Amino acid sequence: MVIGNLTRDPEIKTTPTGQTVASFSVATNYIWTDQSGQKHDKVEFHNIVAWRRLAEICGQYLKRGSKIYLEGKMQTRNWVGQDGVKRYRMEIIAENMIMLDRAGAGSAMSRPAEIPMPSEPVIDIEEAANMGDSNMNEEEIRVENIPF
């Protein structure tokens, strides 16, 4: 489990078999105070790989700076570089992701849809009286008087 911010936009690729894969990096901060009262801050960078539908979602909604919660499994990948040296890369293979950015924080997808508030009461007292509803009061119902 990792909570952090993207350090770069996700890079989206398609494998020869047609599977979508996204790769990006997430930075996490660890802040602590030592015995002398001195504050310390350490940043860790995590390589993330997402596959299939999750990769598509990451490519569509995430960008550099996005705050996310990730669940996944750690995996070490190795290969031989062009220089003949064996290389290793630790990655988190994402299995679940939750976007943590606050609504309205600048991202178009995180803004709530604007729902127009009615300027008139939802219930028209005169219309209800004409329909034979005798339980309605003659008072005007105002939106600002509704407690919720």
CATH number of the domain encompassing residue 78? 2.40.50.140
Does residue 143 lie in a domain region?
Answer: no
pTM (two decimals): 0.64
Round to whole Å and give the CA distance between 134 and 58: 56
pLDDT of residue 20: 94
Regions of the chain where pLDDT drops below 70: 103-148
Does residue 44 lie in a domain region?
Answer: yes
Residues 62-85: tens digit of each pLDDT: 999 999 999 999 999 999 999 999
CA quadruple 11, 12, 15, 20: dihedral sign: positive
pLDDT of residue 144: 56
pLDDT of residue 101: 81
Does residue 115 lie in a domain region?
Answer: no
pLDDT of residue 137: 45
Does residue 9 lie in a domain region?
Answer: yes
Domains of the chain: total:
1
b/e string for 25-49 if b means 16 or more Cβ within 10 A?
bbeeeeeeeeeeeeeeeeeeebebb
Does residue 125 lie in a domain region?
Answer: no
Residues 110-119: tens digit of each pLDDT: 333 333 333 4
Residue 17 sits in which domain range? 2-110
Write the burial class of residue 5 (CB in 10 Å: 0-12 exposed, 13-18 middle, 19+ buried): middle
pLDDT of residue 83: 94
